[in-house]
Amino acid sequence: MKSEIPKHSAIWGQIIVGELKKTGLSERDIRKEFGITRSQLEDPDARWSFDKTAWLFEKASALTRDDLVGYRLAQSPDLVRKAGLLAYVGVSAPTVGGYLRNITRFQRVIGDASKTAMEEGPETTRLTWHYDVPASIPTGQYAEFGAVGTVFALRDYSNRQIRPTHVRFAHQRLTGTEALDRFFGCNVLFGAAENSIAFKAADMDVPLLTADDNLQRTLSVICENTLARMPQTPNSVARVVERQITARLAAGTAQQDAIAAELGMSARTLARRLTDEGTSFAAVVANLRKALARDYLLNSTLPLTEIAYLLGYSDASTFSTAFRRWYGQPPQRLQGAASNRSAPGIGRTI
């Protein structure tokens, strides 16, 4: 069975549609482009495949010419409450640490696309997350939206200037980094191995002004019951393989046998599992390279030779040939065009 894009709450996509309508686009055209029904836009409890939300963020960034649209939208005092049950079980916690534990524990209440983990140590607490979707789906704006929204909420509900010790994003960013540095209060790293935010361990004990023990207990039970009723969505093998390949491309060790061994299975079993999801190891590698190439060219100043190396190619010429095959144009045409987020043949357009 082909792997499907995980379902996610439509609430953030609904908000983005409102932003797109401000640019003059009709709701009808937006719904047609993204395959959205009117009821999905009107129902606050609607869920749809995560790629719709991710692409809506990208479309809003392109049409408003605001490369920080996720960052800006996340800084609304009322926005966090639109997350509904997940938001309230977070803000009713007694402390910052309780907030983070709750949104990690109950993340699936809002959707299956984001895989979040929380690691608590003696000096720092680290929140890490990735999206269980193909690399071809751009998640940068959404990742920034989530990270900024989390820190903004913690500051708002604790009345303390919580400052992460580090913030890292898996996507590339060429412009606007200073604004994110200022907001978080630290140098933000892009092109990291994973999305992560680290906090001082002492910040975990900072009390929230919105703490409510009775509400917390009630909502926790509701969340637990909600999760129990939700069908378990198996992790996509293709996405797991994709993350393994990403970490190995530049070193030239992204071979099927090695990755299969890392995952505790034979190469034949891995091939069968990928076939069951409607893909193959070679297709995962090719699609990942294609998506990463676009990200590097649009959102970094790396020379072609460096991009070729990071993608596991022996030289820039071989990379250029592959890029022409993917996009019908040389990589030089796209390189540095960070302000044009809807380059022909590269991005979605309405």
pLDDT given at position 345: 36
Give the angle subtended at the CA of 53 by the CAs of 49 and 59, to the nearest 5°: 135
| Same domain as 211, residue 295 | no
Average pLDDT, the chain: 89
Helix (H, G, I), strand (E, B) or coil at 207: strand
The DSSP-derived string for 315-338 is SHHHHHHHHHHHHSS-HHHHTT-T
pLDDT given at position 337: 56
Is the pLDDT at 229 greater than 70, yes or no?
Answer: yes
Structure tokens at 297: 């060219």
| Same domain as 177, residue 287 | no
Q: Is residue 30 part of a domain?
A: no
pLDDT given at position 278: 87
Q: 230 — alpha (psi -120 to 50), left (phi > 0) or beta? A: beta
**CATH number where 75 lies:** 3.90.1520
Q: Is residue 249 part of a domain?
A: yes
pLDDT tens digit string along 279-332?
Answer: 999 999 999 999 999 888 888 888 999 999 999 998 999 999 999 999 888 998
DSSP state of 133: S
Q: Is residue 242 part of a domain?
A: yes
pLDDT given at position 336: 55
| Same domain as 325, residue 243 | yes
Domain that residue 320 falls in = 237-334
The structural domain count of the chain equals 2
φ, ψ (nearest 5 deg) of residue 120: -105, 120
| Same domain as 330, residue 262 | yes
